[in-house]
Amino acid sequence: MRNKDIVCFAGNDWWAHNPMTEKQWMRVLAGEDRSVLFVNSIGIGLPGSDSPRIAARLWRKLRSLARWLRKDDGVWVLTPFLIPLWSVSVVRRMNIFLITLQLRFAMKRAGMTRPLFWAGLPTAALFLRSIPHDGCVYYVQDNYTAYYDAMNFTRISEDHDALLRTADTVICASVGLAEREAAVARRVEYIPHGVHPVFLKADPAAPPPVPTALRDLPRPLIGYWGSLEALQDNARTAALARMHPDWSFVFIGRVMMDNTELNALPNVHFLGYLPIEDIPAYGMHFDIGWLSFVESDWITYSCPIKYREYLALGLPVVSPPIIEVARAYDGEGCIARSAAEFSACMQRILAEDTPERRHARRRLVTDYSWEASARRVSAVLDTLGESS
């Protein structure tokens, strides 16, 4: 399907979110003489009142809406006006009508007639009939049917199943999702998230000076970076911190949860938000990269971007049960459940880690740049064209 136009119903927002893999793929694909229309997330429901930082999330969406339709980095970006109550039938019909009008206008501006239909979230299934297209790809980047956030008026399972059965190809971000969706989809491709270039360019063998925030902390440094929200298992973290008062547990990221208990512990440190370009300078000084998530079906089938980011810096990784971590690179992720198991994993890793092991971990992800993974996506699209 060479040089084929793409309408991408994205699972994230071009303007509001960190550089996500889907955005980077579309940027690269647009550079291959394809016309790409990136439709900012139309959502799968309305965030509940207890959803973290709901005011900030709504403000970011309003700022995105103010841009409506414009071109950025070679990609047409549309933030459609809608009411996010997808399971309310009258509102759903209104949304389909309004979004279809906006999409047809944007497609005309982008010079499209029958593009490839890219569904990056389940709700896109509602537009399969109203948007003329030639071929359909469903990108399953999360376990949508076990969505963790507090959502109202959702109809995720129905839309997800419709796309699995309709799509010419289902691209899955994790091993677990690929195996599960293969039971329904006619064709499945496993293409995990790409790694941000700042991690691939970093040289752990020649790290920068220890940042001031880490300089006086006792080692080992058990590090995490990313959003700090309801997915975090604070109880387990607190138990680990009390079991090892001589270790330092370091968190980098916006705090969107109640961290009162953890903040009171002298060996747990919250450094706040850092630009992603600054994170390797901290991460290269960590002794362990860990995934401190609560166990859930959502997490089990996930493909944590930071897993490969940790490996890119040579870090050993400890994680709750996540299929991707357990199986993508045999033996590189130490899986644990209880605080005692996490403690045992961490102690073993600290005893066995060497510069050679760190170099070997880094080599595992050398070829997992955004551009490299986008080329794999492009090859899949070309194959669709040959088989249509």
Here the CATH number for the domain that contains residue 67 is: 3.40.50.11010
Residue 329 CA to residue 316 CA, distance in Å, equals 12
Q: What pLDDT score was predicted for residue 18? A: 64
Express as a percent the part of the chain with pLDDT over 90: 76
Question: Do 25 and 170 have their domain in common?
Answer: yes
Residue 15 CA to residue 8 CA, distance in Å, equals 15
Residue that wins the pLDDT comparison between 229 and 288: 288
Per-residue pLDDT tens over the stretch 240-253: 999 999 999 999 99
Q: Is the pLDDT of residue 387 over 60?
A: no
Q: Which domain holds residue 339?
A: 197-364
Q: Is the pLDDT of residue 33 over 90?
A: no
Per-residue pLDDT tens over the stretch 59-105: 566 676 677 899 998 999 999 998 877 778 898 899 999 999 999 99
181 domain residue, yes or no: yes
Q: What is the mean pLDDT of the chain?
A: 90
Q: What pLDDT score was predicted for residue 154? A: 57
- DSSP secondary structure, 343-374, as one string: HHHHHHHHHH--HHHHHHHHHHTTT-BHHHHH
29 domain residue, yes or no: yes
Q: What pLDDT score was predicted for residue 87? A: 75
Residue 8 CA to residue 255 CA, distance in Å, equals 31
295 domain residue, yes or no: yes
Q: What pLDDT score was predicted for residue 145? A: 83
Q: Model-level pTM? A: 0.91
The residue type found at 382 is D
Question: Do 62 and 180 have their domain in common?
Answer: yes
Q: What pLDDT score was predicted for residue 183? A: 96
Q: Is 187 helix (H, G, I), strand (E, B) or coil?
A: coil
Q: What pLDDT score was predicted for residue 388? A: 43
Using CB atoms within 10 Å of the CB of residue 337, give its burial: 0 to 12 exposed, 13 to 18 middle, 19+ buried. exposed
Question: Do 238 and 159 have their domain in common?
Answer: no
Per-residue pLDDT tens over the stretch 122-179: 999 999 999 999 999 999 999 988 875 544 445 788 899 999 999 999 999 999 999 9
Question: Do 188 and 256 have their domain in common?
Answer: no
Question: Do 178 and 221 have their domain in common?
Answer: no
314 domain residue, yes or no: yes
Q: Give me the residues paired with residue 287 across strands.
A: none
Q: What pLDDT score was predicted for residue 366? A: 93
Question: Do 31 and 85 have their domain in common?
Answer: yes
Question: Do 73 and 114 have their domain in common?
Answer: yes
Question: Do 54 and 135 have their domain in common?
Answer: yes
Residue 24 CA to residue 20 CA, distance in Å, equals 6
Q: Which residues contact 168 (CB under 8 A, 6 or more apart)?
A: 135, 136, 137, 186, 187, 384, 387, 388
Residue that wins the pLDDT comparison between 57 and 220: 220
As for how many domains the chain has, the answer is 2
Give the residue-averaged pLDDT of 43-54.
56
Q: Is 31 helix (H, G, I), strand (E, B) or coil?
A: coil
114 domain residue, yes or no: yes
Q: Which residues contact 368 (CB under 8 A, 6 or more apart)?
A: 192, 194, 195, 200, 308, 312
Alpha carbon 368 to chain centroid distance?
A: 15
- The tokens describing 195, both together, are 């790694």
- The tokens describing 139, both together, are 């990108």
Give the residue-averaged pLDDT of 367-382.
93
pLDDT bin (cut points 50, 70, 90) of residue 49 is very low
Give the residue-averaged pLDDT of 267-277.
96
Q: What is the largest CA-CA distance in the chain?
A: 63
Per-residue pLDDT tens over the stretch 318-372: 999 999 999 999 989 999 999 999 999 999 999 999 999 999 999 999 999 999 9
Question: Do 164 and 286 have their domain in common?
Answer: no
- The tokens describing 352, both together, are 């066995």
Residue 22 CA to residue 3 CA, distance in Å, equals 18
Residue that wins the pLDDT comparison between 331 and 7: 7
Q: Which residues contact 380 (CB under 8 A, 6 or more apart)?
A: 137, 169, 171, 189, 191
Question: Do 248 and 373 have their domain in common?
Answer: no
Q: What pLDDT score was predicted for residue 153? A: 44
Question: Count of CB atoms within 10 A of residue 15's CB?
Answer: 18
Question: Do 219 and 338 have their domain in common?
Answer: yes
388 domain residue, yes or no: no
Cβ atoms 314, 358 nearer than 8 A: yes
Question: Do 252 and 322 have their domain in common?
Answer: yes
203 domain residue, yes or no: yes
Give the residue-averaged pLDDT of 227-256.
95
1 domain residue, yes or no: no
Give the residue-averaged pLDDT of 230-258.
95
Tell me, what CATH number does 219's domain have? 3.40.50.2000
Residue 92 CA to residue 124 CA, distance in Å, equals 12
